[in-house]
Amino acid sequence: MAQSNETRRDFLKKSLAGTAALSFGGILPSFSPKSYAQILGANEKIKVAVMGVNSRGMALAQNFASQPNSEVLHICDVDRLAAEKCINAVTNIQQNKPKATPDFRKGLEDKDLDVLVVAAPDHWHAPAAILACKAGKDVYLEKPASHNPHEGEILVKAAEKYKRVIQMGNQRRSWPNVVAAIKELHEGVIGRPYFAKTWYTNNRGPIGFGKKTTVPEHLDFELWQGPAPREAYRDNIIHYNWHWFWNWGTGEALNNGTHMVDLARWGLGVEFPTRVTSSGGRYRYKDDWETPDTQVINLEFDNNTMITWEGRSCNGLNSEGSSVGVIFYGEEGAIRIDGGDNYSIMDLKNQVVKEVKYQRPVDPRNLSDPTYDLDGFHIQNMFDAIRKGTPLAADINGGQTSTLLVQLGNIALRTGGSLQIDPKNGHILDNKEAMKHWSRDYEPGWEPSI
C-alpha cells in the first residue's frame, strides 16, 4: 500500500511538468482535448478522505472538494445521517460522488487515496493519524494534535518513521496578514517581545444531566468511542458536548486555546516552558460538564518570556475588542492579532501606528467554518508540501509542541495548579501525580503504536 502511494506521490510531483509538455506536444490519437483534460485532471488531483463530518469536517470536506487540485473520494463518519448530508454537499461541488465509508480504516485501504483529513473528536486525532501514516497516507489533522502528550509523541515518531506529511489545522499560520504580523514582530517592530496574552470567549449554555438511552440506529457508537474506554451512551454527549468530557475531549483550552497559544509560541520563538500554572473550574452551571468553563493558563520560558491563555466558555464579553485573539507586548509597543486575518501595531503611548485588515469579516465563534477562503491557503500549502517538498506552515512537530503547552495547562489544573517542566523536551519534572495524565487508559486492543 505504501509503495503504491509513493508511486502516486512521484506522479503528483511530475504532473505539472507533464501538463506543460502536452500543451506543446499535442495529444495521442483517438483522444479528444476534453478527454485528455479529464484524464489529466483526475490524475493530478490529490485524493482525500474526510473523517468526522458533522461540523468542522463538513466544512473541510467542502473546502477540499472546492480546491481545483483535489477530489474527495471517501466520507467517513459513524453517523449515517451526517455522512449522507456531507456526501450530498460535496457532490454538489465536485464532479464525482464520494463513497460512504463509515470506518475510515477501510478508506485507508484504497490505493488511490493520498490524504486522510481527521476532524473526528479529539480522542481519535492521534490514533487515526498514526494509522494513516502506517497505511502510507498523508494527513490533514485538525487541532489538537493529540488527546494526551504520550500519543502526541508517538504521532511525531510515526510521521518521521513513515515519512509522511502531516499538516495540523493551525490554519492561521497560512493566513497572509497573520504571517505578515509575525514577520514584523520578528523584525523588531515593537522591540523585543516578552509577553503574549491570548484569550477565547463564548456564551455556551448548559448541557444538563445526560440520560442513558438506546443508541440511535444511525450511529455506530462503538466505533465512535474507538480508542477511548467504553462508557454507556447518554443523550448529551454527541455531537458537540463530548468536548467537555475528559474521556473524549480536552476542554476549551485545546478546543480553541491551541490556535492562539500556537501563534503566541510562534511569535515569541519559544518551544517548551520551564513552569506552568493554571486555575479555573466549572463555575457557570451545574451539569455534566467536566472540563473548566473558565480557565487561566500561565506558561513561563527560559528566555525571560511568558504566555497566558484565558478561556471563558460561558461569558462572551469581548477582550480587547475581540472574542478571540493574541497580543504581543514588547519593549517598544504591542501587536494585536484578532480572530480574523487582521492586526494592529500600537506604540507605548497607546497610539495605533499601523492597522491591517482582511477584506472579509471572520466569525471566530462559527463552530464549523469561520474562515472558508482563508483556510484554502493552508490546504494548498499542504498540497505544495506533497507535490514539491515545500515546508509545511504547521508541521506536526510544531503542532504537537503547541498542543503540549495547553495539555500541560490542563494537567496543572487537575493536579494542584503548578508544574515544573524540563525546557529541553517539555516533560514534567518530579511529579508522579501529574505524570498519570501524560498518557491515558485505552480500550483494550486500541492502543496506538508504530
Domain spans of the chain, in order of start = 2-171, 173-366+396-435
Strand bridging mode 193-201 / 352-356:
unpaired
Q: In what order do the strands lie in the sheet with 138-141?
A: 99-100, 70-76, 46-51, 115-118, 138-141, 166-168
| Dist. CA 408–CA 421, nearest whole Å | 9
Phi, psi of 314 (to 5 degrees): -120, 20
The whole-number pLDDT of residue 362 equals 61
Return d(Cα 348, Cα 330) in angstroms, integer. 9
Between CA 266 and CA 228 the distance in angstroms is 32
Q: Which residues pair with 358 in a beta bridge?
A: none
What superfamily would CATH give domain 2-171? NAD(P)-binding Rossmann-like Domain (3.40.50.720)
How many angstroms separate the CA atoms of 166 and 138, rounded? 6
Give the C-alpha separation, 32 to 350, whole Å.
Answer: 65
How crowded is residue 61: how many other Cβ atoms within 10 Å of its Cβ?
A: 30
CA angle 257, 279, 285 (to 5 degrees): 80
Place of cell 488527546: 147
Using alpha carbons, list the distances in angstroms from residue 412 to 247, 283, 425. Answer: 17, 18, 17
Q: Determine contact, residues 27/61, Cβ cutoff 8 Å.
A: no
**CA-to-CA distance for 191 and 421, rounded, in angstroms?**
28
Instruction: With beta carbons less than 8 A apart as the criterion, state whether 167 and 392 touch.
Output: yes
**434, three cell numbers:** 501529574
| Residue 70 · residue 48 · CB < 8 Å | yes
According to CATH, the topology of domain 173-366+396-435 is: Dihydrodipicolinate Reductase; domain 2 (3.30.360)
Cell numbers that stand for 260 in this block: 492562539
pLDDT of residue 427: 98
Concatenate the DSSP letters of all residues of 67-133 into one string. Answer: STTEEEEEEE-SBHHHHHHHHHHHHTTSSSPPEE-SSHHHHHT-TT--EEEE-S-HHHHHHHHHHHH
Pairing between β-strand 275-281 and β-strand 418-420 as defined by DSSP bridges: antiparallel
Q: Would you give the DSSP letter of residue 320?
A: T
| Beta partners for residue 299, in sequence order | 276, 307
Distance CA 19, CA 196 (A): 47
pLDDT by 10-residue block (mean), the chain, 450 residues: 50 43 33 38 84 95 96 98 98 96 98 98 98 98 98 98 98 97 98 98 98 98 98 97 98 97 98 98 98 98 98 97 97 96 97 91 55 88 97 98 98 97 98 98 96
Rounded distance between C-alpha atoms, residue 338 and residue 196, angstroms: 13
List CB contacts of 256: < 8 A, sequence separation 6 or more.
200, 311, 324
Residues recorded for the chain: 450
Bridge partners of residue 289, in order along the sequence: none
Q: What gap in Å lies between CA 293 and CA 248, rounded to an integer?
A: 16
pLDDT at 366: 56
Cell of 412: 496543572
pLDDT for position 31: 36
DSSP secondary structure letters along 190-254 = TBSEEEEEEEEE-B--------B-PPPTTB-HHHHHTTSPP---BTTTTTTGGGGSTTT--HHHH
pLDDT at 44: 85
